[in-house]
Amino acid sequence: MLIIKDIYNLHTYLKAYRDKGYSIGYVPTMGALHDGHGSLIEKSRNDNQKTIISIFINEKQFNDAQDFEAYPRNKGDDYNFCEKHNVDIIFEPSAGEIYPKEYKSIQNSHFKNILCDQYRPGHFDGVVTVLNRLFSIIESDKVYFGEKDFQQLKIVENLIKENFSNLKLVPVSTVRSAEGIALSSRNSKLSKKQMTDFLSFQKEVIQFIGNLDKKINLIEANKQAEEFIKSYEKFDYFEFRNASNLSLEGSLVEARLFYAIYKSGIRLIDNLEI
């Protein structure tokens, strides 16, 4: 396994791969790797001859400086994780390598003012800016994203469609614990009690979804969702949206439930298929 920190050397190895006709899969991450990332890596390894993972905590997508500083970092563990999963290259650039002085940020224009975009202004501008840069640098054949960040997945789908016609996006189902919570780097910040409370919340959410009539429309479903969540301590959103276009139109059977809640300042997001 190679750990490369600069674009010049990365291109040297990527060119050697391409000269041999190897297909290249790419998994973008911000580190603090867990089994959810592992499923992306395994999918890439099954699909391609070479797999590259990037580790870069992108400050541009944090609309809260404290959130950026608190984001979990465990570089040594990440290296061991990648080695265990037979990653070929870790690309771990500095901010200066990714964003030279002349580099200009780009704006996200899709799925605006809903879900995370509504509550984290500028977040997806930072996401598309860094991905536009990374996709241009790495030029992989395929790129792998989990469905846990579903709005991000839909935005990336449009970014690729508009700017990277040779890149194939491969969505991968969310990896969950035995209790049903989505694996996330932020889960490691929860105390034992907070995790217990979160597990109880998730169980109640799953029961709530299971008790709904799947034939009702999203307007009615969201009335019931509003009633369910109104007493929760702190949340940004808890609502059903059409899984194909994130609209509020259609029936429940076509939807996913999206939520963003807080546990002592730790923001936790998920989306659940119906």
pTM, 2 dp: 0.95
- Predicted pLDDT of residue 45: 98
Radius of gyration of the chain from its Cα atoms, rounded to whole angstroms: 19
Q: Report the phi/psi class of residue 269: left, alpha or beta, with left for phi > 0 and alpha for psi in -120 to 50.
A: beta
- Predicted pLDDT of residue 75: 80
Nearest to 246 by CA among 128, 114, 148: 114
- Predicted pLDDT of residue 51: 98
85 is catalytic: no
Nearest to 54 by CA among 125, 128, 138: 138
CATH superfamily of this structure's domain 185-273: Pantoate-beta-alanine ligase, C-terminal domain (3.30.1300.10)
- Domain boundaries in the chain? 2-172, 185-273
| Residue 11 burial (CB count, 10 A) | 14
Burial pattern 134-159, b for ≥16 Cβ within 10 A else e, equals: bbebbebbbbbbbbbbbbbbbbbeeb
- Predicted pLDDT of residue 10: 98
- Predicted pLDDT of residue 222: 98
Number of H helices, E strands in the chain: 10, 9
| E strand segments, 106-193 | 142-146, 168-172
- Predicted pLDDT of residue 92: 97
Of the residues 37, 85, 110, 123, only one is catalytic, namely 37
**CATH 3.40.50.620 for domain 2-172:** yes
Residues of the chain with pLDDT under 50: none
- Predicted pLDDT of residue 264: 87
